[in-house]
Amino acid sequence: MASAPSVSMTQGAESARSGLDADALRRGIVDNLVCLQGRHLALATPRDWYMALAYSVRDRMLARWSATVESYTEREIRVACYLSAEFLIGPQLGNNLINLGIEANARAALRSLGQNLDTLLAIEEEPGLGNGGLGRLAACYLDSLATLEIPAIGYGIRYEFGIFHQDIRDGSQVELTDKWLQWGNPWEFVRPDVSFYVAFGGHTNNEIDAQGRFVVRWIPAHQVKGVACDMPILGYRVNTCNALRLWKSEAVESFDLQDFNAGDYYEAVQEKVISETLSKVLYPNDEPEAGKRLRLAQQYFFVSCSLQDMLRLLDRRREPVEHFANMFTAQLNDTHPSIAVAELMRLLVDERLVPWDEAWDITRRTFAYTNHTLLPEALETWGVPLFQSLLPRPLEIIYEINRRFLDEVRQRHPGDDARIARMSLIDERGEKRVRMAHLSTIGSHAVNGVAALHSALLRQTILRDFAELWPERFHNVTNGVTPRRFMLLSNPGLARLLDETVGDGWVTDLRRLRNLDAHADDSTFQEEWREVKRSNKQVLAQRIRNVTDILLDPDALFDVQVKRIHEYKRQHLNALYIVTLYQRLRLNPGQDIVPRCFIFGGKAAPGYAMAKLMIRLITGVAEVVNNDPAMDGRLKVVFFPNFNVKNAHFIYPAADLSEQISTAGKEASGTGNMKFMMNGALTIGTLDGANVEIREEVGDENFFLFGLTAEQVERVKHEGYRPAVHVESNAELREALNLIEGGFFSRGDPQAFRPLVENLLQVDPFLVLADYADYVTCQDRVSAAWQDPGRWTRMSILNTAHSEKFSSDRAIDEYCERIWKICPVRIALDSPRRPTGPPA
């Protein structure tokens, strides 16, 4: 018999599709450019070359992807499904190159073609499929899951328009649509064969089926088709390549046809428009009017497709439905996918005819829920009338879950009606609303917060009754971020120095960074450390100059606050300090101060007026401060437009100081704080979210702490917060507020910032003025530390050295062990695959 044909296209050379050396890559790039994209070599634009390179890298991931998918269809393997309305995955090319280990070869291949890798990397549009922290966390977790060889699927929505692009015009935010797909997405595979129908509206009928069983039939008003779009998620230097499966909505053919036959052509077209609108746009958080019908439809749409897909995989393995929870565990990334609890019940009870109690057992064993916020206004609820009209059958199921659950509570606490009202799935004060956090908690076997403080507060506040009922279900898993993207890829200078100093194993084992402790006081090493930071600052300064025309001195202290703009994150507290410094220099121009560049970045929700005003304040202060000759370049303020993953790559590595100044008790965790720390920035922060743990890890002496504690914040509020007290006792604060209110930073317009100042003086729930004095003192301590470069550099080194806890690898290990009970599976490329651990 003839031997199997070789996959290699050229005898004696590596395949142009899979070969990893520079020559094979060069041939692959040309092949894709000419044959796949239909371009002429001589006429190819940089974007054509980017595409050709991206396709060539993707080709090299495919063998790993197939091997991974194949191995997951074998029996016994348990798969973690991460359900999230957002995946902020960032640019893919650079990451895939380093994970494959072919960056140098790709660079060489391109050079031989007259192209430059960095130019091509800069062309990639990032998929902005998330708002901020929660979406980026999901992406970091996918990276760690693949790197740790955990069988996993990310399930979400393929938004056609991601988070808006932010422009700054006349100092204000302007939102532009994010057309990330306009040139096509080279990383995705559309799978028309993997598609499901999702029902909406209509009504339900109670029926007796042919076997005499009671069944409920949902007669929907319309259906939408969800089509799978897959992106490969390759682990770092392993063969595991998991899938991120995002659903896009399409109109259902037969439905419009029916209407068409009935003569209602326009009705049919209307249906089609609605169907195709479902996956159009990502909703921003912090929108006052987030309770949109379309948003709920999006959530149900992606959740239903995902669960149907999981059932399909189960059937393909010929497993009985009773084994669902053994084969899958599903993590609910906040309440956005929590309708999954009702939907899995519906699929099991109505469609698979599983008895209710058994279905409930499967459901609870399948789901686990992560909460990301304690802010009452951010807790998701949906009005019952809206729910009823869009999802009549899931609502019935929610009512049945609630009835059974409240019976249980009543048995334990007879007569405690207040408790029943508090714990109910339906909030009956005012218009009835479905409480999604309660649905997630009741329908899950595990509930976790995202930092130690947050998990503790979760148990004490919003989920207190539930924690009392089921203490064993409550966990903490402190967030983490991936060192591949946020150190190795974005800070190559630091990565090289770390390789030389502690060996290259740190990339997948941040504990190795502890070996830096021994070098923290070594002056030669310190010099090298400073050189890396300085060169990163130069790169950032150049970019800032390109986009804003503002000149920064790389020897100044780079003081950075990048994150969504929100009152609780208190960018205005930072601005007040800048105004204070400015005022000091105006009064005393000869004063010897530490030169600082204040760099801000972040988007405000389009409907959040106060956040937009905060941006105007920052750009207003920037305009005055940067152009005042008396400052002599000692103070600079920059608002970097359109903060996203791509820009973040240049920002974290260049920071000296990381601003983590939220009101204690409000920031669930924060993950930017971790990215700064890994890159050697020192933190100025409150005892909030993961800051608490960062300080524990790095030591009090290497962290700039200020502000009220979460407990003190609550006490102040309880006793009545009086902002005026703080103004009266602090002349600098008075002066800063006067300048702002007087129109000094708004070209003389005294109206511009009045709402902001009035808010601070009257109702501010985030206690900005209460923390002002301590913040200023603390910032002055930062300046003092900066003046001793040896001391500062030592602290900087120790921050990186002690960042192990904040790797997403550690976080994923904890999820696997404590919540998912799942083990790694080694993927071999050419030999039969076996699980490396015992099946759960």
Nearest Cα to 561, choosing from 669, 451, 454, 684?
Answer: 684
CA distance 662 to 451: 15
Closest approach of Cβ 292 to ligand 26Q, in Å?
Answer: 7
CA 538 to chain centre: 28
CA distance 123 to 116: 12
Closest approach of Cβ 689 to ligand 26Q, in Å?
Answer: 5
Q: Which distant-in-sequence residues (6+ apart) come within 8 Å of 182 by Cβ? A: 125
Closest approach of Cβ 551 to ligand 26Q, in Å?
Answer: 33
* Residue 804, both tokens: 């192990």
DSSP string, 234-296: E-TTSS-EEEEEEEEEEE-HHHHHHHHHTT-HHHHHHHHHHHHHTTTBPPPTT-TT---HHHH
Nearest Cα to 57, choosing from 213, 214, 229, 231?
Answer: 231
Is 277 considered catalytic here?
no
C-beta closer to ligand 26Q: residue 108 or 290: 290
Q: Where are the beta strands (DSSP E) in 84-238?
A: 152-157, 165-169, 172-176, 189-200, 203-208, 214-219, 222-234
* Residue 467, both tokens: 């924690």
Closest approach of Cβ 440 to ligand 26Q, in Å?
Answer: 13
Closest approach of Cβ 124 to ligand 26Q, in Å?
Answer: 23
Which secondary-structure segment (H or E) carries 362?
helix 356-366
CA distance 669 to 455: 10
What is the number of residues in the chain? 840
Closest approach of Cβ 802 to ligand 26Q, in Å?
Answer: 19
Phi, psi of 788 (to 5 degrees): -115, 90
Closest approach of Cβ 122 to ligand 26Q, in Å?
Answer: 27
The answer to whether residues 667 and 567 touch, using CB atoms and an 8 Å cutoff, is no
For 786, other C-beta atoms within 10 Å of its C-beta total 19
Question: Which of 272, 569, 572, 805 does the annotation list as catalytic?
Answer: 569
Closest approach of Cβ 231 to ligand 26Q, in Å?
Answer: 20
Q: Which distant-in-sequence residues (6+ apart) come within 8 Å of 285 by Cβ? A: 131, 132, 378, 564, 605
Is 564 considered catalytic here?
yes
C-beta closer to ligand 26Q: residue 131 or 402: 131
Helices 492-502, 523-548: axis angle to 10 degrees equals 170
Closest approach of Cβ 43 to ligand 26Q, in Å?
Answer: 43
Is 563 considered catalytic here?
yes
The answer to whether residues 364 and 445 touch, using CB atoms and an 8 Å cutoff, is yes
Q: Which long-range contacts (CB under 8 A, 24 or more apart) does 539-542 make?
A: 539/650, 539/654, 540/599, 540/650, 540/651, 540/653, 540/654, 541/654
H-assigned helices in 688-722: 691-698, 710-719
C-beta closer to ligand 26Q: residue 147 or 381: 381
* Strands ordered across the beta sheet of 446-449: 189-200, 222-234, 241-251, 152-157, 79-83, 328-333, 367-370, 446-449, 474-476
CA 200 to chain centre: 29
C-beta closer to ligand 26Q: residue 508 or 669: 669
C-beta closer to ligand 26Q: residue 656 or 667: 667
Is 649 considered catalytic here?
no
* Beta-ladder partners of 684: 659, 704
Is 372 considered catalytic here?
yes
Tokens 């296209």, located at residue: 9
Question: Which of 563, 570, 636, 666 does the annotation list as catalytic?
Answer: 563
C-beta closer to ligand 26Q: residue 25 or 163: 163
C-beta closer to ligand 26Q: residue 248 or 666: 666
C-beta closer to ligand 26Q: residue 437 or 760: 437
Q: Which residue is nearest to ligand 26Q (CB)?
A: 133
Relative to beta strand 474-476, strand 446-449 is: parallel
DSSP string, 108-126: HHHHHTT--HHHHHHHPPP
Residues at the site binding ligand 26Q, with contacts judged by CB under 6 A = 131-134, 137, 283, 285, 290, 295, 372-373, 380, 450, 479, 667-671, 689
Closest approach of Cβ 811 to ligand 26Q, in Å?
Answer: 10
C-beta closer to ligand 26Q: residue 469 or 605: 605
Nearest Cα to 21, choosing from 10, 36, 35, 6?
Answer: 10
CA distance 513 to 243: 31
Question: Which of 39, 225, 346, 372 does the annotation list as catalytic?
Answer: 372
C-beta closer to ligand 26Q: residue 26 or 454: 454
Q: Which distant-in-sequence residues (6+ apart) come within 8 Å of 522 by Cβ? A: none
C-beta closer to ligand 26Q: residue 137 or 513: 137
CA distance 777 to 645: 33
Relative to beta strand 433-435, strand 381-383 is: antiparallel
C-beta closer to ligand 26Q: residue 160 or 380: 380
Relative to beta strand 172-176, strand 682-685 is: unpaired
Closest approach of Cβ 480 to ligand 26Q, in Å?
Answer: 10
Is 584 considered catalytic here?
no
Closest approach of Cβ 127 to ligand 26Q, in Å?
Answer: 16
CA distance 236 to 258: 50
Closest approach of Cβ 383 to ligand 26Q, in Å?
Answer: 13
Nearest Cα to 115, choosing from 21, 32, 31, 49?
Answer: 49
Question: Which of 508, 671, 683, 800 does the annotation list as catalytic?
Answer: 671
C-beta closer to ligand 26Q: residue 366 or 479: 479
Q: Which distant-in-sequence residues (6+ apart) come within 8 Å of 798 by Cβ? A: 516, 517, 520, 698, 699, 702
Would you name the residues annotated as active-site residues?
372, 563-564, 569, 671, 675
